[in-house]
């Protein structure tokens, strides 16, 4: 089983990380090619392309200039510990055991606009480059065209000899970088909905947090059988068979009181 996650805009390069073996991203040649392109972006280009404030544009301009020169490894951090958005608060890597971290390294993959596909312990530097960014390169008009089938090929390589499907816990923006029809394994999408009365809907904040919770739960319990996914019950969610099928698992719960 391979679990796919989106990265996060928010990063944390300050917190302590456990003493665990680190790895290097596997598509570094492609990343270097992207960095040659981003190095040429002005602050104004970045602000327009990524719809960022002046301060964030300045920050990312400096990041791109530094990355293009090459940064020392001691300024990098494993991807699973570096990302700090809702998904990663749900995953809570800091509380993960070394054994679970080893299992996650084999089964969790993070889609990335800059790095393509990351393993949890792959070292990364601070960056911002969302997959949906319309950054033109020699390969095309956007990052989907830049990455082409490379991400899909790497997922297939990682799935070789593994049991279970690809569990998609990534956003549509990021999963669109995967050529679903070319995957060698089936894909299971997962939806988390909040119930209010007789209606239920996806609420972004809760759904992102739940994706991280499920990814961590899969790792903690070493889940490889897709049927076992239906037993997920963290944070009050339960499997909703009436709105699920073999390709989509939906989990619902009463909407939490925001004041609670």
The predicted structure's pLDDT at residue 90: 98
The predicted structure's pLDDT at residue 259: 58
Q: Is the pLDDT score of 64 beyond 70?
A: yes
Q: Is the pLDDT score of 43 beyond 80?
A: yes
20 in a structural domain? no
pLDDT above 90 covers a percentage of the chain that reads 87
Give how many domains the chain has, as a whole number. 1
What does each C-alpha distance from 132 to 4, 83, 171, 192, 243 come to in angstroms?
17, 18, 11, 23, 29
For 90-124, the pLDDT digits (tens) are 999 999 999 999 999 999 999 999 999 999 999 99
54 in a structural domain? no
The residues pairing with 23 across neighbouring beta strands, listed in sequence order, are: 122
Q: Which domain holds residue 126?
A: 2-11+78-254
For 142-169, the pLDDT digits (tens) are 999 999 999 999 999 999 987 789 999 9
17 in a structural domain? no
29 in a structural domain? no
65 in a structural domain? no
Mean of all residue pLDDT scores within the chain: 94
Q: Is the pLDDT score of 260 beyond 60?
A: no
53 in a structural domain? no
What residues contact 50, with CB distance under 8 A and at least 6 apart?
56, 57, 60, 128, 130, 133
114 in a structural domain? yes
69 in a structural domain? no
């Amino acid at each position: 089983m391979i679990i796919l996650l989106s990265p996060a805009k928010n990063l944390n390069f300050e917190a302590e990380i456990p003493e665990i073996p680190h790895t290097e991203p596997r598509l570094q040649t492609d990343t270097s090619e992207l960095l040659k392109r981003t190095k040429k972006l002005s602050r104004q280009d970045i602000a327009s392309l990524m719809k960022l404030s002046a301060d964030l544009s300045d920050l990312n301009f400096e990041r791109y200039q530094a990355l293009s020169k090459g940064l020392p490894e001691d300024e990098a951090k494993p991807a699973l510990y570096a990302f700090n958005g809702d998904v990663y608060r749900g995953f809570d890597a800091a509380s993960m055991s070394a054994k679970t971290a080893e299992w996650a390294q084999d089964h969790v993959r993070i889609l990335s606009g800059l790095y393509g596909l990351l393993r949890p312990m792959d070292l990364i530097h601070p960056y911002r480059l969302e997959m949906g960014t319309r950054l033109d390169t020699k390969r095309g008009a956007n990052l989907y065209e830049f990455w082409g089938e490379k991400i899909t090929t790497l997922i297939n390589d990682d799935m070789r000899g593994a049991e279970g499907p690809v569990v998609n816990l990534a956003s549509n923006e990021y999963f669109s970088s995967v050529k679903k029809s070319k995957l060698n394994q089936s894909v299971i999408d997962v939806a988390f909905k909040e119930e209010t009365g007789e209606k239920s809907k996806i609420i972004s904040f809760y759904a992102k947090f739940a994706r991280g919770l499920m990814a961590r739960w899969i790792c903690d319990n070493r889940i490889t059988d897709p049927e076992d996914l239906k037993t997920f019950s963290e944070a009050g969610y339960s499997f909703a068979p009436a709105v699920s099928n073999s390709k989509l698992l939906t989990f619902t719960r009463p909407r939490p009181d925001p004041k609670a």
